[in-house]
């Protein structure tokens, strides 16, 4: 195992971490504000991917095949999917079950996930989709005498970071963002002061959904779309969210990097456990800090 392979592992890790972060960000945001652990997030990821693939295939066929168009179609696909599905799920389902036990809410999102697994198969079939066109278009870059694709090492992490910064700005500087924070940490006070719970809830859910779908759309050029992709991504995202601490945004960034790197490095160093790395890390962390790495103290109840 030489230095070059190590660097490749790191590059893979950063790219994977970027996708992981986008999905985990949506997940942790939704949990932090709405208290729901949304398993259907995996479906949003997959849907974002499939729609993006279809849209870019459509664009290519109709001579919109300049790189910016392709890229645009990816992102637009994600936004649309996230917006529509997010609104749909929030209005039709979450509102209806919002007073129930969190475990019940989790099962509701699990049911939705399971339904979408078949919806995907019905619409797009079960054979893998590939749409790597944009990766080759953007070319490669050389660092430390090893070649990486620009897409992997700059585009994905770049968008992930931009989302992080954007979200932080939104939460700290905009009115709606501040209301969201208020609702998360001091729900009753916020409601008493007139924060519109339904509106903010819908906003957050849609935002989270869009991030998840964006992750899926961006994943299209670097992985093939198969029916199980949503399932795999959602479970690993959980480990990120649980390890970082539910609702911790910066924590999710750091943890995504940690787990993404560990997973990718393991492929080269410890292939027997590469798939299990995220879970092993989560187990170790939770053993030492039962509420996640970055969780703050809880307030007194009695």
Give the footprint of another protein on this chain (CB under 8 A). 37, 93, 96-97, 100-104, 106-108, 110-115, 117-119, 121-122, 231, 235, 238-239, 242, 246, 271-273, 275-276, 279-280, 282-283, 286-287, 290-291, 300-302
Nearer to another protein, 111 or 189 (CB): 111
Q: How far is the CB of 246 from another protein (least distance, A)?
A: 7
Q: How far is the CB of 104 from another protein (least distance, A)?
A: 6
Nearer to another protein, 4 or 118 (CB): 118
Nearer to another protein, 11 or 246 (CB): 246
How many Å apart are CA 260 and CA 13, to the nearest integer?
5
Nearer to another protein, 177 or 245 (CB): 245
CB 244 within 8 Å of CB 237 = no
Tokens, residue 185: 């940490």
Nearest to 233 by CA among 167, 278, 294: 278
Nearer to another protein, 40 or 203 (CB): 40
Q: How far is the CB of 38 from another protein (least distance, A)?
A: 12
Q: How far is the CB of 299 from another protein (least distance, A)?
A: 10
Q: How far is the CB of 100 from another protein (least distance, A)?
A: 8
Give the number of other CB atoms < 10 A from CB of residue 103.
9
Q: How far is the CB of 108 from another protein (least distance, A)?
A: 6
Nearer to another protein, 63 or 122 (CB): 122
Nearest to 76 by CA among 54, 94, 93: 54
């Amino acid at each position: 195992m030489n230095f070059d392979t190590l660097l490749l592992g790191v590059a893979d890790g950063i790219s994977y971490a970027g996708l992981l972060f986008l999905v985990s960000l949506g997940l942790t945001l939704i949990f932090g504000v709405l208290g729901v652990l949304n398993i259907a997030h995996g479906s949003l990821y997959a849907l974002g991917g499939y729609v993006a693939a279809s849209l870019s295939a459509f664009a290519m066929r109709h001579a919109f095949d300049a790189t910016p168009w392709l890229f645009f179609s990816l992102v637009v696909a994600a936004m649309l999917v996230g917006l529509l599905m997010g609104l749909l799920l929030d209005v039709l389902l979450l509102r209806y079950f919002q007073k129930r036990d969190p475990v019940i809410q989790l099962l509701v999102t699990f049911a939705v996930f399971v339904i979408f697994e078949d919806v995907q198969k019905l619409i797009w079939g079960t054979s893998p989709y590939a749409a790597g066109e944009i990766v080759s278009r953007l070319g490669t870059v050389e660092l430390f005498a090893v070649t990486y694709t620009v897409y992997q090492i700059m585009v994905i992490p770049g968008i992930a970071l931009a989302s992080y910064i954007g979200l932080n700005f939104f939460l700290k500087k905009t009115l709606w963002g501040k209301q969201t924070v208020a609702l998360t940490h001091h729900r009753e006070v916020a409601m008493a002061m007139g924060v519109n719970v339904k509106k903010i809830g819908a906003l957050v859910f849609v935002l989270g959904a869009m991030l998840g779908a964006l992750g899926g759309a961006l994943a299209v050029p670097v992985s093939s779309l198969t029916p199980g992709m949503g399932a795999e991504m959602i479970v690993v995202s959980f480990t990120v969210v649980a390890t970082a601490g539910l609702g911790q945004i910066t924590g999710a960034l750091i943890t995504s990097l940690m787990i993404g790197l560990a997973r990718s490095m393991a492929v080269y160093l410890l292939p027997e456990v590469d798939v299990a790395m995220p879970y092993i890390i989560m187990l170790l962390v939770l053993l030492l800090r039962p509420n996640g790495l970055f969780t703050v103290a809880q307030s007194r109840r009695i």
